[in-house]
């Protein structure tokens, strides 16, 4: 067992929380490549250096704290959603830092840490780890834009001469990511830890309906080509058509809508919206894509809309490595006897990409009320510390 220091871990976790503090100080707004995100990474690089790790930014802004030689990699991400919680990603990075630091102090096995950039998908889907793992090419990522029109190429240039080369994944023996559950299960059962068996797959694309902008007073209803009405009809039709295909675990979300020109007295001429769907079965994800495209085409025809699609992004479901998962199960039983479970992840994580490169596993701690991607996200301090200890125990048993 590595001698982790829970107080030092909690201090660092709260120090990271100050970057982009928002929502009366409880949550954070720290999207990838924002000023608070870059400042947080500079702070984190300093903490890595203090811990005896060599900080290194890669070309997309992911920050590694490297131990010498072949090492186990721990971490997650330190960017957040535009309205995000203080633990989503930050927990795995700071817990990884504490375990790596404790290992160095105790003369233990080499352990490295990473904070991947843009896990929250300002530009793509888990952009930083996707590019590192080859699920997305750098050229392909560079052509992506955030909702304001900023390109990924412009955004990553903000790291300037901090950036070095990509880190060679061959120097890592495996990757363990600790994370908050972001769902209601552990909180409801009163269990302290979740060992992840698999992470769901995701598909994500933008759809645009273009009709005819016009005067909202003079244009008769039957002559309108109203983009909002098209979106509204699309959403209703989609829910009906999905009914025979989805399971209770399947989810889909229209989370970002840009209505043009978005004014009370103008019939909206254009709407661009995000369409995202997730499931543990890649075939079902493909069937859903076909239903989305068929439904959009039917609505475009019935509402006199032109139809266009943005790039299709996605990651298939992945299962966790048996060996690393076993180490987490043993550690969970030691730290929280009878108070842990094996469970799937409905949220996406950098581990999905890293699984292309090396064995990966994940450990969850409870989310109070199951709330995440919201300023109110939180976890009881005792659960944070139990998670840290279980991570340290598992890392000690597989590293070196
Ligand atoms: O949306 C997700 O599942 C992740 O938090 N980016
Ligand atoms: Mn996360
Ligand atoms: Mn998230
Ligand atoms: Mn007028």
Ligand with an atom nearest the CA of residue 84: 3
Q: Which of 189, 159, 204 is nearest to 56 (CA)?
A: 159
Kindly state whether residues 142 and 215 are assigned to the same domain: no
Q: Choose one of 117, 121, 364 to mutate for the ligand 1 pocket test, by most ligand atoms within 8 angstroms of C-beta.
A: 121
CATH number for the domain spanning 268: value is 3.30.70.360
Which of 76, 182, 252, 279 for mutating ligand 1's site (highest number of atoms within 8 Å of CB)?
Answer: 182
pLDDT at 312: 95
Task: State whether 234 and 186 are in the same domain.
Answer: no
State which ligand 1 atom lies nearest to the alpha carbon of 346. Answer: 3
Both 156 and 272 in one domain: the answer is no
Range of the domain at 90: 6-200+317-399
Q: In which band, very low, low, confident or very high, does the pLDDT at 71 lie, cut at 50, 70 and 90?
A: very high
Q: Is 346 in the pocket of ligand 1 (CB under 6 A)?
A: no
Cβ(371)–Cβ(187) below 8 Å: no
pLDDT in tens, 132-182: 999 999 999 999 999 899 999 999 999 999 999 999 999 999 999 999 999
Please report the pLDDT score of residue 393 as a whole number. Answer: 98
Q: Binning pLDDT at 50, 70 and 90, where does residue 34 land?
A: very high
374 lines ligand 1 (CB under 6 A): no
119 Cα: distance to centroid of ligand 2 (angstroms): 7
| 77 marked among binding-site residues | yes
pLDDT band at 25 (very low <50, low <70, confident <90, very high): confident
Q: Is 281 known as a binding-site position?
A: no
Q: Whose CA is nearest to atom 6 of ligand 1?
A: 120
Instruction: Look at residue 36 and tell me whether its pLDDT is greater than 90.
Output: yes
Tell me, yes or no, whether 80 and 221 share the same domain. Answer: no
Question: In ligand 1, which atom is closest to the CA atom of 347?
Answer: 3
Q: What does the pLDDT read at residue 24?
A: 83
Tally of CB atoms within 10 A around 236: 12
Span 342-395, pLDDT tens digits: 999 999 999 999 999 999 999 999 999 999 999 999 999 999 999 999 999 999
| 321 and 309 fall within a common domain | no
**Longest Cα separation, the chain:** 78
For 4-21, the pLDDT digits (tens) are: 999 999 999 999 999 999
Write the pLDDT tens digit of every residue in 123-134: 999 999 999 999
* Domain match, 205 and 254 both: yes
**Residues 324, 329, 330, 332: is their CA dihedral positive or negative?**
positive
Pair (62, 205) in one structural domain: no
The mean pLDDT of 321-326, rounded to a whole number, is: 98
Q: Which atom of ligand 1 is nearest to the CA of 121?
A: 6
Task: Please state, rounded to an integer, the average pLDDT across all residues of the chain.
Answer: 97
Q: Among the three residues 269, 288, 315, which one is the final residue of a domain in this structure?
A: 315
Under 8 Å between Cβ of 277 and 198: no
Residue range 304-333: mean pLDDT, rounded: 97
111 within a domain of the structure (yes/no): yes
Q: How far is the CA of 182 from the centre of ligand 3 (A)?
A: 8
Which has the closest alpha carbon to 267: 306, 230, 293, 315? 230
pLDDT band at 1 (very low <50, low <70, confident <90, very high): confident
Q: Are residues 48 and 194 in the same domain?
A: yes
* 143 and 29 co-located in one domain: yes
DSSP β-bridge partners for residue 307: 209
Tell how far the Cα of 379 is from the centroid of ligand 3, in angstroms.
Answer: 15
- The CB of 347 under 6 Å from ligand 1? The reply is yes
Distance 270 CA to ligand 4 centre (A): 20
> Which atom, in ligand 1's list, is nearest to the CA of 119?
6
Q: Are residues 165 and 220 in the same domain?
A: no
Taking the CA of residue 348 as reference, the ligand 1 atom at the shortest distance is 3
**Across the chain, where does the E strand assignment appear?**
21-22, 27-28, 54-57, 63-66, 71-77, 111-116, 172-180, 193-199, 201-210, 214-215, 251-253, 257-260, 266-267, 270-279, 306-309, 313-315, 318-319, 340-345, 360-365
pLDDT value for 392:
98
CA–CA dist 117, 272 (Å, integer) = 26
Whether residue 23 lies inside any domain: the answer is yes
Task: Kindly give the distance from the C-alpha atom of residue 213 to the centroid of ligand 2, in angstroms, as a whole number.
Answer: 39
Q: Is residue 1 part of a domain?
A: no
Q: Residue 65 is part of a domain; what is its CATH number?
A: 3.40.630.10
Structure tokens at 365: 């701690």
Q: How many residues does the chain have?
A: 400
How many domains does the chain fold into? 2
Q: Where does a domain end: 263, 293, 315?
A: 315
Mutation probe of ligand 1 site: the residue of 373, 374, 377 with most atoms within 8 A of C-beta: 373
Ligand 3 centre distance from Cα of residue 352 (Å)? 14
Mark whether 46 and 186 lie in a shared domain: yes
Mutation test of ligand 1: which of 119, 251, 279, 367 has the most ligand atoms closer than 8 Å to its C-beta? 119
């Amino acid at each position: 067992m590595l001698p982790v220091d829970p107080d030092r871990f909690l201090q660092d976790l709260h120090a990271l929380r100050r970057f982009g503090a928002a929502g009366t100080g409880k949550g954070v707004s720290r999207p990838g490549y924002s000023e608070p995100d870059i400042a947080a990474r500079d702070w984190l690089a300093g903490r890595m250096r203090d811990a005896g790790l060599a900080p290194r930014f890669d070309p997309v802004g992911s920050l590694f704290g490297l131990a010498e030689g072949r090492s186990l990699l721990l971490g997650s991400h330190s960017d957040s959603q535009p309205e995000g919680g203080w633990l989503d990603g930050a927990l795995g990075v700071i817990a990884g830092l504490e375990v790596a630091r404790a290992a160095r102090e105790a003369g233990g096995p080499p352990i490295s840490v990473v904070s991947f950039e843009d896990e929250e998908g300002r530009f793509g889907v888990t952009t930083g780890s996707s590019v590192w793992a080859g699920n997305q090419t750098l050229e392909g990522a560079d052509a992506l834009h955030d909702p304001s029109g900023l390109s990924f190429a412009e955004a990553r240039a903000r790291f300037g001469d901090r950036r070095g080369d990509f880190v060679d994944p061959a120097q890592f023996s495996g990757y363990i990511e600790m994370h908050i559950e972001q769902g209601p299960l552990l909180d409801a059962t009163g269990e302290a830890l979740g060992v992840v068996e698999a992470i769901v797959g995701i598909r994500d694309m933008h759809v645009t309906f273009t009709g005819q902008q016009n005067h909202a007073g003079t244009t008769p209803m039957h002559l309108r080509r109203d983009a909002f009405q098209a979106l509204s009809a699309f959403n209703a039709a989609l829910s009906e058509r999905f009914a025979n295909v989805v399971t209770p675990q399947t989810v889909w979300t229209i989370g970002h809508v840009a209505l043009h020109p978005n004014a009370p007295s103008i019939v909206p001429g254009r709407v661009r919206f995000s369409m995202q769907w997730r499931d543990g079965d890649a075939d079902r994800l493909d069937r859903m894509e076909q239903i989305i495209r068929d439904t959009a085409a039917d609505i475009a025809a019935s509402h006199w809309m032109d139809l266009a699609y943005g790039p299709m992004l996605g990651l298939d479901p992945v299962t966790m490595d048996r060996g690393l998962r076993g180490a987490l199960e043993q550690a969970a039983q030691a730290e929280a006897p009878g108070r842990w479970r094996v469970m799937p992840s409905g949220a996406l994580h950098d581990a999905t990409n890293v699984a292309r490169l090396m064995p990966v596993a994940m450990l969850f701690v409870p989310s109070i009320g199951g709330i995440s991607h919201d300023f109110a996200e939180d976890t009881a301090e005792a659960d944070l510390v139990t998670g840290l200890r279980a991570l340290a125990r598992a890392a000690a048993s597989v590293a070196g």
